[in-house]
Amino acid sequence: MDAAEVAKHNGMQSCWIVVNSKVYDVTSFVDEHPGGPSLILKYAGADASEAFNEVHTQQTLDEHMTQGQCLGKLTGNPSALAQPKKSTTGNTGSENEIPPIVSMVMTHDFEPVAKALLSDRAFTYVHSFSSLEDRINSYHRTWSSLSFRPRVMRNVEHVNSTRCMLSHQSRFPFFIAPMGLAGSMHSDAERVVARGAAQKATHYCVSTSATLTHDVIMESFRTAQAESNMRDRSQLFLQLYVNSNQKITQDFLRRARALGYKGLFITVDTHILGKRIQDRRLQSRELIEAGITERPVGNLVSDGKDGKAKDGRPQTGGRSRPGVISQALNWDDLKWIRKEWDGPIVLKGIQSAADAKMAYDTGCQGIYLSNHGGRQLQDAPSSLETLLEIRSMAPEILGRMEIYCDGSFRTGADILKALCLGATSVAVGRPFMYAAAVYGVKGIERVIDILADEIEITMKLLGVTDLKQLSPDLVRVPHELRMSSRL
Ligand code: HEM
Ligand SMILES: Cc1cc2nc3c(=O)[nH]c(=O)nc-3n(C[C@H](O)[C@H](O)[C@H](O)COP(=O)(O)O)c2cc1C
């Protein structure tokens, strides 16, 4: 197919692209592209090989292009092709200088560096929230609004910060939260996180939507454990999005169990993707850039051909693919899930004392108080609010099941406050993503070291030598928070 002819098919009405010297008519696929139409329209009439090969393989073409869509080899003068349309959506991921890792002193420090380095699209995916600014700020302030009531003169020469999570010891009372589709942050993302976690004996909960396969992640984790010669051993846990096709979930659970994943964390707050505001704005800018100025409100990316990801991956870059996560999930489903998973089960995304109680009554080993990092329900409660509500309205479950918390935990002090109020362990999300994106495995280790250092300092200044000594007496909860939880 002659290059000059290809160049004419440069819009929505007729869109041809060149990938690895072959011409494809993608007109009917543009709107179905799970990465969004604008990414392909940018290359209409042009050579998309470089951009395509960054995220896809030949297999993507084999699986999604019919024979009729392949128009043959590119012939003629390639310079006659159209030029890719210029991006106006800001940062495209660049050559910005990376500061030495020693300048990362707080976990907060990784975000601005990642922002400068990553493409707008990748950064927005991680950063996006589904509430307005005031609420997001209140999530960030939530744990720092509690102050301590320290004790002094208590011989704190040696402290022990180890914590058991679902019967598995970790050096620290925190773990790495599940974060899907990390591939846009780092091409080897979950392997990087797994290596860092193994080397620092920290637990890591791997997402159903991991970009890499779960066997590859486990292999990396085990190899790093063997190399690190560490006496303490951490574990990989498994986060589950229940697929609307039960068989996909059953197969997935069997495979994961055989691979050695431990506790199962079923996410119960993501049956529809929250309205992530920054991501919606970015999508709309991408559409305008691609010449699309009208589209119905709602999910701006249309469903894929069959609406289903083969391996149960639910979303693409924070853009939902309808029909993949079950919206029919209910308490009865725990019965068939238990048949496939004989290990402990934790429900992730519990946001009320009533559901915490249900989880206990239905035999779950743990609850994970989370509002998905503020990415799902607009104006969802913080994990602190839910924990206080449980203390007030379902105190009988405290000490009887494990309780995890997450959402804007950024310091060792905040982690210890949650432990004082009854949490077993705390998960940290975004800082690990940003650190991996910028510094790889060293970044993961650095975040762990920063939190570990803060935990040790805070324990000593609080007058405790073991996490078992933490109790509600050591924190002051602001009056309005106590009132709102009827505490
Ligand atoms: C014939 C052309 C193309 C086909 C058949 C195709 C197919 C797909 C498919 C099936 C996905 C879903 C995720 C996966 O299974 O990998 C996807 C996602 C994506 N595609 Fe394409 N694509 C094409 C062209 C392009 C081009 C030219 C770009 C240029 C940047 C691109 C960028 C992306 C991105 C960024 C995602 C989202 C990945 C993520 O967030 O994890 N694609 N595409
Ligand atoms: C980029 C990103 C991807 C996420 N993917 C998942 C996921 O696949 N499964 C899940 O249960 N939670 C997911 N979450 C939510 C996190 O597990 C966690 O609840 C949240 O990030 C904690 O808040 P923090 O980032 O403020 O620490 C994701 C969060 C982010 C930021």
pLDDT value, residue 410: 98
432, 367: one domain: yes
Structure tokens belonging to residue 346: 């934790």
Which amino acid does the sequence have at 406? D
In a domain, 92, yes or no: no
Residue 395 neighbours by CB under 8 Å, 6+ apart: none
User: 16 and 129 share a domain?
Assistant: no
CATH number of the structural domain spanning residue 180? 3.20.20.70
b vs e for 4-25, b when ≥16 Cβ sit within 10 Å of the residue's Cβ? eebbebbeeeebbbbbeebbbb
Same domain, 443 and 389: yes
The answer to whether residue 258 sits within a structural domain is yes
Domain match, 32 and 174 both? no
Highest mean pLDDT of the ranges 139-143, 208-212, 346-350: 346-350
| Per-residue pLDDT tens over the stretch 104-129 | 999 999 999 999 999 898 999 999 99
Number of domains into which the chain is organized: 2
**Domain stops at, among 61, 80, 99:** 80
Q: Are residues 378 and 449 in the same domain?
A: yes
Higher pLDDT, 320 or 24: 24
Asked whether residue 68 falls in the same domain as residue 136, the answer is no
In a 3-state reduction of DSSP, which class is residue 171? coil
Which of 151-165, 206-220, 310-324, 462-476 is predicted least confidently? Answer: 310-324
- DSSP for 55-67 reads H--HHHHHHH--G
Statement to judge: residues 172 and 60 lie in one domain = no
294 inside domain: yes
User: Could you tell me the two tokens for 151?
Assistant: 């004790």
Report the distance separating Cα 463 and Cα 154, nearest Å: 6
Interval 273-298 mean pLDDT? 86
Is 317 found in the same domain as 187? yes
Q: Looking at the predicted structure, is the pLDDT value of residue 487 above 70?
A: no
Using N-to-C axis directions, what is the helix angle for 430-439 and 189-199, rounded to 10°? 100
| Confidence band for 324, pLDDT divided at 50, 70 and 90 | confident
In a domain, 91, yes or no: no
d(CA 35, CA 162): 42
Identify the residue whose C-alpha is closest to ligand 1 atom 34.
35
- pTM listed for this prediction: 0.86
Structure confidence at residue 313 as a pLDDT band (50, 70, 90): very low
Q: Give the pLDDT confidence of 131-146 residue by residue, as tens digits.
A: 999 999 999 999 999 9
Q: Is residue 161 part of a domain?
A: yes
Hey, what are 47's tokens? Answer: 């050579």
In a mutational test of the pocket of ligand 2, which residue from 372, 430, 434 has the highest number of ligand atoms less than 8 Å from its CB?
372
Half-sphere exposure of 198 (CA within 13 A, CB side): 22
pLDDT of residue 8: 95
In a domain, residue 35? The reply is yes
* 378/322 Cα distance (integer angstroms): 20
Alpha carbon of 430 to ligand 1 centroid (Å):
24
Kindly state whether residues 307 and 436 are assigned to the same domain: yes
225 closest CA partner among 235, 210, 216: 235
Model confidence at 23, pLDDT cuts 50, 70, 90, reads: very high
Q: How far is the CA of 314 from the centre of ligand 2 (A)?
A: 14
Query: What's residue 483's pLDDT?
Result: 77
Say if residue 188 is in the same domain as residue 48: no
Q: What is the pLDDT of residue 309?
A: 35
**Structural contact between residues 286 and 124, judged by C-beta atoms closer than 8 angstroms:** no
Instruction: Please report whether residue 90 resides in a domain.
Output: no
**Of 80, 95, 130, which one is at a domain's C-terminal end?**
80
DSSP 8-state assignment for residue 372: G
Q: Which two tokens stand for residue 192?
A: 């990087």
Cα of 304 from ligand 2 centre, angstroms: 24
| List of residues 6+ apart from 242 with CB closer than 8 A | 249, 266, 325, 326, 329, 333, 337
Atom number in ligand 1 closest to CA 317 = 40
Regarding the beta carbon of 128 and ligand 2, being less than 6 Å apart is answered no
Question: Can you tell me the distance from the alpha carbon of 116 to that of 401, in angstroms, rounded to the nearest whole number?
Answer: 42
Per-residue burial over 219-255, b = 16 or more CB atoms within 10 Å of its CB, e = otherwise: ebbeebbeeeeeeeebbbbbbbbbbbeeebbbebbee
Are 253 and 336 contacting, i.e. CB atoms less than 8 angstroms apart? no
CA of 372 to the centre of ligand 2 (A): 5
Element (H, E) at 240: strand 236-240
The boundaries of the domain holding residue 69 are 3-80
Residues 236 and 196 in one domain: yes
**Percent of the chain having pLDDT more than 90?**
77
Residues with CB under 6 A from ligand 1: 24, 26, 33-35, 39-40, 43, 48, 51-52, 55-56, 60-61, 64-65, 181, 183-184, 316-317
pLDDT of residue 315 exceeding 80, the answer is no
Distance, CA 401 to ligand 2 centroid (Å)?
A: 22
Residue 310 has pLDDT above 50, yes or no: no
Q: Which amino acid is at 435?
A: A
452 pLDDT above the threshold of 70: yes
Question: How far, in Å, CA of 265 to CA of 348, rounded?
Answer: 6
User: Which is more confidently placed, 147 or 299?
Assistant: 147
CATH code, domain carrying 26: 3.10.120.10
What is the number of residues in the chain?
487
Give 79 Cα–ligand 2 centroid separation in angstroms: 44
Q: What is the mean pLDDT of residues 169-180?
A: 96
62 and 145 housed in the same domain:
no
Confidence check: pLDDT of 194 > 60:
yes
Inter-CA distances, 441 with 149, 189, 201, 203, Å: 36, 9, 14, 15
Residue 25 lies in a domain: yes
Average pLDDT, the chain: 91
In this structure, which amino acid lies at residue 308? Answer: K
